Structure 1
Amino acid sequence: MPSDALAGRRILILEDEPLIAMDVEQLCREEGAADVVIMRSLSETGGAGDVRKRFDVAILDLLLGGTSTLDFAGELWDLGLPFVIASGYTDIDEILKAFPGVRVIGKPYAGKELMEAVAAAGRSATSI
């Protein structure tokens, strides 16, 4: 039975590993997300401004095919789009310094932990 933790939310999953992306998509749908879109590269996004218009929350992998998404995350941060970082990247000090309050979920992660972080980010969007 679906939860409503992400009810009505439009979620972007920026992840280049297909199996991980599909798993996260299913988790989001089970939590009630209205729309879930997987993108595998920064070029698919249309830029941070377009992402801000289309989505309520983003889940970002830090490396897509060897390309860092930190600059893109900074653009989303500046635009006020909440996001969660889900990555195997282990040195998170620079991330936490650049994006205070953003949850960083290490891979491999528990689905429940990731969905709690995404739901919390989504709640922060409604209070902005």
Structure 2
Amino acid sequence: MPALLDGLRILVLEDEFLIAMDVEQLCRDHGAAEVTIAREVAELEGQALPARFDAAVVDLMLGGDSTLDFAARLRREGIPFVFASGYSDSDEVKEAFPDIRLVTKPFAGDDLIEAVAVACGRA
């Protein structure tokens, strides 16, 4: 049985180094071909995201700044994604992105991987 994320190129937008490393390892363990960690949205400015990524895991807050604008860009560009956050009760997120799964930190690895797989239509 192929791994849930087999062959996918995944963007991890996360400013906490250890969490980013954990997510990278989880994705690789579940078959991701490439995992790119970005610690701030500015690192991705001017890049053609669909050419580089099949899916993304997006932290809701990076250094106190909301990533909702970036999430809207992902949606416009057709890249499936999930939010990962320490904040579980974000009404703003539920209103703006009712169809996007929010995986709360600290998360179980299986929950995160399953959420990404579902977002990509694989589970």
3-state SS of paired residue (1:37): strand
CA–CA distance in structure 2, aligned partners of residues 123 and 33 of structure 1:
15
1:33 has 2:32 as partner? yes
Match of 2:96 in 1: 98
CA–CA distance in structure 1, aligned partners of residues 75 and 117 of structure 2:
17
CA–CA distance in structure 2, aligned partners of residues 41 and 51 of structure 1:
15
One-letter amino acid matched to 1:30: D
Match of 1:65 in 2: 63
Q: What value does the CA root-mean-square deviation take over the aligned residues?
A: 1.7
Match of 2:23 in 1: 24
CA–CA distance in structure 2, aligned partners of residues 22 and 78 of structure 1:
27
Would you tell me which structure has more helix in proportion to its own residues?
1
3-state SS of paired residue (1:113): helix
Instruction: Return the offset for 1:77.
Output: 1.1
One-letter amino acid matched to 2:4: A
* Partners of 2:4 and 2:30 within 8 A in 1: yes
Aligned residues: 122
Instruction: Return the offset for 1:80.
Output: 1.5
3-state SS of paired residue (1:73): helix
Q: Which TM-score applies when normalising by structure 2? A: 0.91
Instruction: Return the offset for 1:52.
Output: 2.3
**Partner deviation per Cα, 1:40-64 (whole Å, 9 max, x = no partner):** 00111125x6222210000000111
Moved over 3 A (4+): none
One-letter amino acid matched to 1:114: L
Match of 1:45 in 2: 44
**Partner deviation per Cα, 1:5-41 (whole Å, 9 max, x = no partner):** 0001000000000000000000000000010010000
**Partner deviation per Cα, 1:77-116 (whole Å, 9 max, x = no partner):** 1221110000012332221221122100111111110000
* Matched-pair identity in %: 57
Gaps of 5+ in 1: none
**Bigger CA drift: 15-24 or 100-109?**
100-109
One-letter amino acid matched to 1:51: L
